[in-house]
Amino acid sequence: MVATIADIPFPQTPPDDLLGIDWGRPGFVDDDHTGFGFGVVPRLLLRSPTTSTLRTAPLVLALHSADRDPLAPPSAPFDLELDVFDERLHVPLDRFLAVWLPRLPHAADLVLALCNPTAYPLTRPAGLATSTRFWYALSDVDSFAESDSPAPGLVTTTWGLAAHQWVCLP
């Protein structure tokens, strides 16, 4: 049983596991991925239909959103839905970030890998370093990965998140 937000396990996870990438699957992505956690991703491409931006070593928080009523007022909290110890928890995003951000490594970019199908306008998390850019999507988010071999023995992997639109709060 989870008594507080601090009791929710939020593991540091390698990029493939964090984003549900399975190189042995057709298309590489596990669409049923329910894991969550955080990690520094060496190369992350944020893609939308009109733009792409490559971020180097961002801190990525992979989370899952709870279903949200599209008619909910803007003052209604944005809730996460997390499966923990056979328990489905609904946790307000702002409270989760208030507890967990101080425990996580600093990075120039913080990216939420979090579906936001109602395009809810998020605010910059309290306590986030002023030097950190905060990225989130205004749609569902899909992960992908691309790998090439520019030289023998050298493989470059770029992980990615695709959304209708990415918002960056400086």
Q: Give residue-wise pLDDT tens across range 14-49.
A: 999 999 888 766 556 666 666 799 999 999 999 999
What are the residue ranges spanned by the domains of the chain? 13-67+75-169
Residue 145 is predicted with a pLDDT of 87
Residue 86 is predicted with a pLDDT of 85
Residue 47 is predicted with a pLDDT of 97
Task: Map residue 18 onto helix, strand or coil.
Answer: helix
Q: Distance (Å, rounded) from C-alpha 105 to C-alpha 69?
A: 33
- Are the beta carbons of 129 and 109 closer than 8 angstroms? no
Tell me how far the alpha carbon of residue 65 is from its chain's centroid.
10
DSSP 163: -
pLDDT by residue (tens digit) across 56-110? 999 999 999 998 777 777 778 899 999 898 888 999 999 999 999 999 999 999 9
Q: Distance (Å, rounded) from C-alpha 45 to C-alpha 91?
A: 28
Residue 48 is predicted with a pLDDT of 98
Residue 166 is predicted with a pLDDT of 98
Backbone φ/ψ region at 80: left (φ over 0), alpha (ψ -120 to 50), beta = beta
Q: Sort strands 37-40 and 43-47 into parallel, antiparallel or unpaired.
A: unpaired
Task: Map residue 150 onto helix, strand or coil.
Answer: strand
